[in-house]
Each structure stands twice: as C-alpha cells, then as structure tokens.
Structure 1
Amino acid sequence: MKILFTMPIPNDLKERQQEQFPDHTYEYIENLASYQGIDKVDCIVSYGSDITDSIIEEAKRLRWLMVFSAGIEELPHAKLQEKSILVTNVRGIHAIPMAEFTMGFMLSHVKRLASFASKQTKNDWERDPQIGELAEKTIIVVGTGAIGSQIAQFAKAFQMKTIGINTSGENIAPFDEAVSIEEIQTVLPEGDFIVSVLPETSATKSFYKKAHFEAMKKSTVFINIGRGSAISEEVLMDIASNQTIAHLYLDVSPIEPLPKNHPLWNFTNVTITPHVSAHSPKYLYRSFDIWLENVARFQKEEPLLNMINLNRGY
C-alpha cells in the first residue's frame, strides 16, 4: 500500500512502522489540499478535518481512511459511503487523559481550589467552610464507552456512587447501575456531578434541554468533555444566568474557539477550558498502537479495530 500521513509523526514511530511493515510506502505531509498524487494513495491517516468530498473523489485508489481522533463529524460521510471506503478511528485512547481531566474538575470543585487561588492574589488567609469531599457523592456519566467507563473507575476509587447513561440501559462495569438515555430524567435528581461524554450525532445535537437542568439539584455540577453541540448556546446562557445549578465546567462549547467577547466567559459559575481534556504527550503513541494493529489485520484481511458505522455516526 501507499500510505499518506497528513500530520507530523515522530521519527521513532516512523522507524517502528518501517521495521514492522517494510513492504509499504509511507509519505508524510502537513497540507493535504495542495498534495499532488492523491490518486495513487491507498490509505490516508489523518485527524479528519482535512478530508473533503473533493479529496475522496480524487483519491481513486483509496480503500481505507484511518482517523487519529474519536470524533468523525467533520468527515464527508456520504462520499465515503458512496466510494465504499473503510473508516476506522482511535476510539479509546482518550480515556485516561479525559478521565483525569474530569477528576481534576471535580476535586478542584469540592476542595475549592479556584477560590484559594483567588484568595492568594489578595494575600488572604481566610479558610473556606464549603470545602467538601467526593466520597459518597453520586456521579452520572452520560456515555458509558471507554472514556465514561474510565471516569467511573476513577470515581469508584474516590468512593463515589456511579450511574451510567447509554442507549440500551444495560449496566456494565464499573458502574453501580445504568439507565437508558430515554430515562435520564429519572436519575438526574440524584446526581451531584453530571458528566457528558456524548459524541456528535444527529441524535445528540442540542440534546440537553432546560428541563434536564431543572431536574438537577441546585448544588449539582455539570461537566461537558464530549461535544459542545450537545447543549445550545441558548440553554447554556439560561442555566448560567439563572444559576439553575451550582457550576458548569465546559471543555467544549457550541462555538469553538469561543469568541473573546462571548458572555459565557464572564460568569463566575462557568469554568471554560479550550477543548484540551484529551491532550496528552502519549496521544500519537496510543494512536499508533491501534494503527499498527490494524495494518496487521488489514494485511491478513481480518476485521479492523474501531470500524466506524457512518450511518450511525460512531
């Protein structure tokens, strides 16, 4: 195969790949739009955002698209299906960094770390009577895949009760219990922390309504590390301005990057981070573990890991 990478790859990973699969031809570029020779490529490895209808149309020999991200909403689904191109991703590699990020938000919240950081700028020794614990709190994780399950595993180490939300309502370890997404309203009043790990699909866009937040306790904390499109700007502004719940921790937002003049920046009950919960120095190394396993499977005509159902959207 001729394999085209559209992102920088460390030399040690290039060498590992060459040693393991010396019969393939590898090319590394950073600008797919200006690349000459796309018609001779059998496989593209990309983050996904540079793949367009015209690229797929011009790539006459393309059989496989490997996406080094979990989200595939930017891909030209119809064109990929029309050309019967295999699509795989690196689902699962984000579990540890995103779960750690979530625990960081929750620990910071109960231990009042932002408050103490603010006090330090004023040389203020005043203690905070609102310091709490995670132990015996209830966390509801909306999405029980690799990321959600890792969050639940970490939460169990802090002696939290874990409730999972998924499409079937089927319980899986390490959750204490699970309900279907249609029944989410029945458990929202129990949650001290609600964590959204929803992907972006037609069913999840603007999924969270005002009524969902009104069903939560006033003290509830909502954390979104999935996709910003799961909550509309209108709902976010309403919840923040009316202080419907205690706090919104948003690593993702409906508009990215969030404009500098957007009012969400100014709420004291909203914490914004720039879509970084999955960032890790191990990102490409974990991606290559899946990629190289899939190359071996592809050569042996075995089922590939993380095959994407383009109709379903994940």
Structure 2
Amino acid sequence: MPIPDDLKAKQQAQFPNHTYDYIENLASYESLETIDCIVTYGSDITEAIIEKADSLRWIMVFSAGIEELPHAKLQERAVLVTNVRGIHAIPMAEFTIAYMLSYVKRLANFATKQVEHNWSRDAEMSELAGKTIIIAGTGAIGKQIAQFAKVFQMKIIGINTSGETFAPFDQVVSIKEIQTVLPKGDFIVSILPETKATKALYQKSHFEAMKESAVFINIGRGSVVTEEVLIEVATSETIDHLYLDVTPIEPLPTKHVLWDFPNVTITPHVSAHSPKYLYRSFDIWLENISRFQNEEPLLNTINLNKGY
C-alpha cells in the first residue's frame, strides 16, 4: 500500500528502534522469514507466506474484512490478527445517507432530465423524516448510520446477534427475528460481515417480507445475498430499489445483467473510500505497536473462529 511520507516519518519518530520495509510484492520479499509483523490489506496473505514467515507473530490488516486470510493456518501458527474496524464509520454512513437522500429527492431522475433539457417536476419527491430504517449490523458503522438517521428524524431498528437494544437505536432485534421487522422498513441497510452465518443470508422470502416500496442497501459484503436472488428480486420488482455497493462477484462483469435493471444502482465497492483512510488506520496501528511492545491487549483483535 502507498504510505504517505508524513506517516512514515511519524512511525519512525514514534518507534525509532524498529525496521520498516515498504514493499510492493510480499511473495517475492527475500527476508520473509525474519519479520515479526505484516501490515497489509489482507488479500496477499497466503498459506505459503505464513509457512515461510517463521518469525511472524502478528498481522495488522488495514481493512475490516478478513475473510481472505488463511484462517486455519494462522490459528495453527498462533499468529495474532488485528484490523482497522471502526475507521469506516463516517464515510460509509455518509454514503448510506447519500443513497437515501438521492432516492427520496429523485436526484438521479433530475440528472437525466437535465441531459434531456426537461423542466418537468417529479411528483414522487419525498423526505426521510418519519421513515423507518432497518440496519443489519449495529457495530461502529451501524451506530454512525443510526446517529445520522436520527438527525433526519427517522425511526431506527437495528439487527444483531444478541437483540440487545441501545442508543441511538429505537429497537434492536436478533438476527433470528429479522423476518418480524422487515415489513416495517422503508430502507433496509446491510453492513454485515462475511461469516458462515451470513453467507446467502437474505433469501427471496426476506425480500417478499419487505414493503413493495422498500429500498435495500448493501454496503457490507456481497456474499450475504446470491446473484440468483438479486436478479429474481430485480426482475419481479419485489421491492422498489436495490442500491448495491457490493455484489456477489467483484468486480461485477461488464456484461452482467445486474447493470441493466432500472431498479438497481451499482457502485464499485467505494462506500468506505476517504482521503483520511490511511490516517485513521495509522491511529490504530501506532497505538497497537505500543501495546504490542508492552504486552498489552491490542485494539481490534480478531477471533478467527467467529470471523470478526
């Protein structure tokens, strides 16, 4: 990853006794067996690299998702894994609100009308106030979305594993009870991670339980709903619109049918993008270096059995 010079300097000044190598290809790094820690986005970590890195004690993943890591091999070697969970909250929450505002204010329609030089107004314009948002995933990102939604005077229902209600959610139910609340949602936002329990979680029956006017937004992981279900829902117009920042296949092939549905909006997995991404990541990374040296518990330690 391209680390800005000011962050390299900050790291060196704060921890001058360590050696830092900035490399483009981990697999071809000649001294792999000598390193203690790898900082990575995660996709370049293979079983072969873990086998070769004899001294490896810790992997710091500069993303929230860790599904691409070789979990079994890391557990076998007792390698510690941490991530930057939480840094995505503001950009992803803003992205979600942008989707919803665009929907109720019909902004895509007006963009089309401008191209057509068409002054006609849109009778279907609405507002977020009074509408219900269901947020599947009540961690840092879900809480931030809920806080923003509260400003827009929305009712907020959260979904998580425990079902325990806490602010700013008006109500929280367990994921086992998801079908009971889906009929209430005007917007259903999925920010669930990829785990064994969440793969293909959303079935056709879930979308059929939603209002016909409902909007489904997925900014979490594309694997929570299959291609087949997405295509069927879009074709049958089971709900009014699907906003997909993540898809079951990424990148989505150029000729994939999902591109062409008028009731589907595709964005290329960008909801977390921000110029502050690496700076927020380094806040966690540098704090964890200090904790690691002092043999203290690290921030965002991953339970590889759970997958998060």
Shorter-normalised TM range: over 0.9
Percent of counterpart pairs with the same letter? Answer: 75
Identify the residue that residue 253 of structure 1 maps to in structure 2. Answer: 247
Cα displacement (A) at 1:178: 0.3
CA distance in 1, matches of 2:167, 2:64: 22
Query: What does 1:60-99 correspond to in 2, within 5 Å?
Result: 60-99=54-93
TM-score (norm 2): 1.00
SS of equivalent residue, structure 2 residue 150: helix
**Number of residue-to-residue matches in the alignment:** 308
Cα displacement (A) at 1:291: 0.3
- 1:162-221, Cα deviation, whole Å (9 max, x unpaired): 000000000122111100000011110000000000100111000000000000000000
* 2:15 pairs with one of 15, 21, 39: 21
* 1:117 pairs with one of 106, 111, 116: 111
Query: What does 1:181-200 correspond to in 2, within 5 Å?
Result: 181-200=175-194
SS of equivalent residue, structure 2 residue 20: strand
For the pair 1:269 / 2:257, whether they are aligned, the reply is: no
Identify the residue that residue 165 of structure 1 maps to in structure 2. Answer: 159
- The residue type equivalent to 2:148 in the other structure is F
Q: 1:140, 1:191 within 8 Å by CA — same for their partners in 2?
A: yes
SS of equivalent residue, structure 1 residue 205: coil
- The residue type equivalent to 2:30 in the other structure is Q
- 1:91-113, Cα deviation, whole Å (9 max, x unpaired): 00000000000000000000000
- The residue type equivalent to 1:65 in the other structure is I
- The residue type equivalent to 1:194 in the other structure is I
For the pair 1:216 / 2:210, whether they are aligned, the reply is: yes
* 1:201 pairs with one of 195, 201, 206: 195
Cα displacement (A) at 1:35: 1.0
* 1:288 pairs with one of 279, 282, 285: 282
CA distance in 2, matches of 1:167, 1:248: 24
CA distance in 1, matches of 2:3, 2:215: 38
Identify the residue that residue 4 of structure 1 maps to in structure 2. Answer: none
Cα displacement (A) at 1:34: 1.2
Tell me how large the CA RMSD over aligned residues is. Answer: 0.4
CA distance in 2, matches of 1:232, 1:271: 16
Identify the residue that residue 5 of structure 2 maps to in structure 1. Answer: 11
CA distance in 1, matches of 2:259, 2:58: 41
